[in-house]
Amino acid sequence: MGRNGLRAVVSLLAGLGVAGLLADPGSPSGAYPESYPVATATASGYPSSAARKVYLASALRNVGFSGAVAYPVATATTAPQATATSVPTATPARCLDVQWLLNPSFESGGSPWSITHATPERPTLSNLHSSHGSWSFYTGGRNNLYQRTIQTVTAPNNATSASLWFNKKMFSLDITTVAVDFLVVGVLDQNGSAINYAALSNTGNRGGWVTYKVPITNLAAHLGRQMDVVIAAETDASLTSWWYVDEVYLVFDCASTDARPAADAPAGDTPMDRADAQARLTGKGRQASAAVTPAPGPH
């Protein structure tokens, strides 16, 4: 990259308000996944500038994330002025427009994701399936399983909207018509109550990446307070199901980045009332394992 290109990138980062977070970008070998499912449903093409901002903010918070800045750098080089100048006008001052989770794509090992329950064994990281990068989070795959993995954050004080986004790919040996194996992904408030969640099961899409959006409801009550982002899997006694989860983004943002079409991001694919979801997200009454982080595995 020439000096002008570098200057353009710095300008872009300054416009995004994230220049201070800029870390070693790592190897530029990665690229934004062509198969990202939202792409096919966005009439104006994908990724949008808003989506790129989310991705860039995510990348900058994910130290050691290989190739994390490859896509934003390429964009800034080809149209630096337009990209950099459009950001401030499109972003109201109170909008933080940032992705809040660390290691959201599981490219930096398991930390700081923490396992609080893992029966019969702890979940792992997988390099067989990923919607971005090389790695994803793997859970399920055994009968009579309950696994709970969390990342705890403190919400910013001044956001106007927020949503949890994630991608999942599910495989199952079980029937397609009745939900018996579950993956619940959601956010608990500082009291351990479910703010919102997506309930998925063996009846959902098999073998493809699907993007889910979980709006953080009643956000004002949670600003400046602790939140737990939880991935909880539970299977019954036979014919197991297993899930790969990737690109888990907790985005505090403006309406612009929260406006990806709801049709692209169903709240879930199986009915589950709040009490059932709460029980799975908190793991109440279930045996806890030692606090460990997911580790690379054979899955």
Task: Count Cβ atoms below 10 Å from residue 36 Cβ, excluding itself.
Answer: 19
The string over 65-100, giving b where at least 16 C-beta atoms fall within 10 Å of a residue's C-beta and e elsewhere, is bbbbbbbbbebbbeebeebbeebeeebeeebbbbbb
134 CB neighbour count, 10 Å cutoff = 16
Structure token digits, residue 269 = 């694919």
| All residues at 6 or more sequence positions from 27 whose CB lies less than 8 Å from its CB, including other chains | 66, 67
Tell the smallest beta-carbon distance from residue 207 to Ca ion (Å): 17
Closest separation in Å from C-beta 68 to Ca ion? 11
In the complex, minimum distance from the CB of residue 94 to Ca ion, in angstroms, rounded to a whole number: 31
Nearer to Ca ion, 134 or 289 (CB): 134
Distance in Å, CB of 106 to Ca ion, minimum: 5
Nearer to Ca ion, 169 or 222 (CB): 169
Interface residue list for Ca ion (CB under 5 A)? 105-106, 130, 132-133, 135, 246
CB of 132 to Ca ion, least distance (A): 5
- Report which of 43, 52, 57 is spatially closest to residue 79, judged by C-alpha positions: 52
Q: Which is nearer to Ca ion, 105 or 282 (CB)?
A: 105
Whole-Å CA distances, 250 to 192, 208, 215: 17, 22, 10
> Least Å distance between CB 135 and Ca ion?
5
Give the pairing type, strands 146-154 and 194-201: unpaired
Residues 132 and 99: their CA atoms lie apart, in Å, by 15
Q: Which is nearer to Ca ion, 105 or 202 (CB)?
A: 105
Query: Measured from the CB atom, is 131 or 235 closer to Ca ion?
Result: 131
CB closer to Ca ion, 104 vs 268: 104
